[in-house]
């Protein structure tokens, strides 16, 4: 079985997220999503609209997602890859090059972002109304 992992906050879930998860799942047989916890988002200076538990519930309802784990700190990626026997690490290409060091543990793939959609753009557009 080929295992894939991706990381993110997945706040204000939108079709760009779904397409990322679909393309990630196409790279293997099992997709794990490491979901940023509320405490980790605070460390990053972010606040999600939905709580960790609510975001986790939404991700678990998506047919491409097989397993959701918490992301507590930036540095846990290597341990997650080893613990969950990951073959492919996937991130959006806005992170290109930032996780290349993980290529000693598994294949690293940066997928193109979906044009014209992001959580930031949604939040910006909602403030206009």
- What pLDDT sits at residue 116? 78
pLDDT band at 102 (very low <50, low <70, confident <90, very high): very high
Model confidence, pTM: 0.91
What is the mean pLDDT of the segment spanning 92-116? 93
Of residues 95 and 116, which shows the higher confidence score?
A: 95
What is the mean pLDDT of the segment spanning 28-36? 98
**Smallest Cα–Cα separation from 36: which of 22, 21, 51?**
51
Beta carbons of 3 and 87 less than 8 angstroms apart: yes
Tokens 């204000």 correspond to what residue?
A: 12
**Can you list the alpha helix ranges (DSSP code H) found in the chain?**
15-25, 38-43, 52-60, 77-83, 119-127
Bridge partners of 88, per DSSP, are: 4, 107
- What pLDDT sits at residue 24? 98
By annotation, the residues acting in catalysis are: 44, 46
Cα 107 to Cα 24, 27, 41, 69, 100, distances in angstroms: 12, 10, 26, 20, 9
């Amino acid at each position: 079985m080929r295992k894939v992992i991706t990381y993110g906050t997945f706040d204000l879930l939108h079709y760009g997220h779904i397409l990322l998860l679909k393309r990630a799942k196409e790279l293997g047989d099992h997709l794990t999503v490491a979901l940023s916890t509320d405490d980790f988002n605070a460390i990053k200076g972010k606040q999600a609209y939905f709580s960790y538990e609510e975001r986790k519930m939404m991700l678990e309802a998506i047919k491409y997602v097989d397993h959701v784990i918490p992301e507590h700190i930036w540095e846990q990626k290597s341990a997650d890859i080893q613990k969950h026997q990951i073959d492919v690490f996937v991130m959006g290409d806005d992170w290109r090059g930032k996780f290349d060091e993980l290529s000693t543990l598994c294949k690293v793939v940066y997928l193109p972002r979906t044009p014209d959609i992001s959580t930031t753009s949604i939040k910006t557009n909602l403030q206009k109304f």
